[in-house]
Structure 1
């Protein structure tokens, strides 16, 4: 599967180089797990980096290069939408009913205490704790037709869709699609018809609610209480 909204090349480069913080790294890892083109791009970047470390001129690498072809073949052997309903706990797989949509990179972050909790605004959330990272990392679930409160951003936001889809002022996003931003403009993502929309959201800084009632809640948002 190929996304209509891929992650930016510079973000894939940072991911391939291993320089991203844990939250953005997880978001890109999920995008790569769900999107064949992103996997191939990361493979190319990894092959280029390896060639440069070995002193081989990058210009000599092309789609016909044998080493690059082997790398891409290995990457493409991974299922595009690898799914698993289990996580590993003390060496034993434990079934997680309701989490069959979760790609493998997410499963190690979903322990047995991970449950959906109703959040202010009518959506459900699972807050993830990634040691050493200051980003707010959450799984959000929206029922079809429901939206997140109108808001804007003062920091970078990374979003990858894991189930269903949503639509906002920047377009329509489906499984595997990746969004950065949208910057300072306000938006109100609304879940598409069909399955509930589930997405991983990584926030560099708290959002700013801009609706008539949301403004009163911003002090709580800034403190991470909602």
Structure 2
């Protein structure tokens, strides 16, 4: 059967759909920052940025950017009423102290049991950039990953065992991809949903691992 991948905005909307009322959430650099644009205005969610912001809103309208108010990826953001900014040491204390309900991160690889590799590919000349990823991965109550399922070479980023340096062990609970949403469990990967037209056997063949339906 034929299927269409989720666009980056559709994927961000899928992640936002699962964020509950009242959650405090860190959005990592890259694709996860798009999630801020898809949280319903009627739902109270406190968005955290590791450079020292709590209460971020969606991206500003074109021409309304304030480059003194940016997220950890140096993108201009907005601040909702009641929002605050503070020293990054206080921000890391929030991350390490278990005060975040969810963090949404990008990844190079995620293992079937939830190991995360998202800071270095090990390639010669690649610039290691772990940032606050380790603190977020183990400090948040839940770690979700948002990424394309396949590399540009067509290889699955969901693997049996990560070959890249690890960021955290067994920390990822869910993986949101352009083709499917999966849960990482001690027993392996469980499929929560797939794009229309994609079959479980086809997804399993793309990933190269056995999958269970939720």
- TM-score, normalising length from structure 2? 0.31
Is the helix fraction higher in 1 or 2? 1
Q: Which has the larger radius of gyration?
A: 1
In the superposition, the TM-score normalised over structure 1's length comes to 0.30
